[in-house]
Amino acid sequence: MDQKALFNISYGVFVLGAKTEEKVNACITNTFVQVASDPLRVTIACLNRNYTCDMIKKSGTFSISVLDQSCTFDTIKHFGFQSGRDVNKFDTVAYDTDAYGNPYVKKEACSLFSCKVLSSQDLGTHTLFIAEIEDARVVSDKPPLTYSDYQTKVKPKREAAATDKKIVGWRCKICGYEYKEPVLPPDYVCPLCGHPASDFEPIYAD
Ligand code: FE
């Protein structure tokens, strides 16, 4: 099987918001999809190790902010490269909420959805939630960001590898997580996206 075939599947990029009694939180996802039209149904597949996933299992609702092409790498980093278990991501980001209290980002988004979970299935790394849309809004006329746009236009370009430079860490090519030790264990698994050591690239000393 050619794993690279998977890279040609198109996705959007979204802020997935959740709320429990303790916290509002959100992460970055590329897995929000409309899967039926009558009745209208959507799915979201959320990494089981993500705090947001635990929150959705508890609350049974979630929000989606569809990121637009003004989205910056800082927004992706803020919501995608740190865990809501460690920080309150909305301490420093302006947000609105849906009727359930799930957070929407106030900038860099073109559409917003409030969703209620109907059923779920554990798929191993991820849980797939099937949901209905309770509210939907268009909030800007900017085109949506695709996952391919993210990879080619938003994510910083890696500098040409310089073999005479010292390796100080390793960066996950999938999500950007940085492992800050010079030697990456061969069985290492990215704590954010679950990809293996083979998906990491070296970070060189300046
Ligand atoms: Fe990763």
Question: What does the DSSP 8-state code read for residue 85?
Answer: T
Distance 174 CA to ligand 1 centre (A): 5
How many CB atoms are located within 10 Å of the residue 110 CB?
20
The rounded distance, in Å, linking the Cα atoms of 78 and 76 is 6
Distance 99 CA to ligand 1 centre (A): 32
Residue-wise pLDDT for 69-87, tens only, equals 999 999 999 999 989 999 9
Collapsing DSSP states into helix, strand and coil, what is residue 57? helix
Residue with tokens 């061969």: 186
Specify the pTM.
0.81
Distance 139 CA to ligand 1 centre (A): 30
Residue-wise pLDDT for 107-125, tens only, equals 999 999 999 999 999 999 9
The rounded distance, in Å, linking the Cα atoms of 145 and 123 is 26
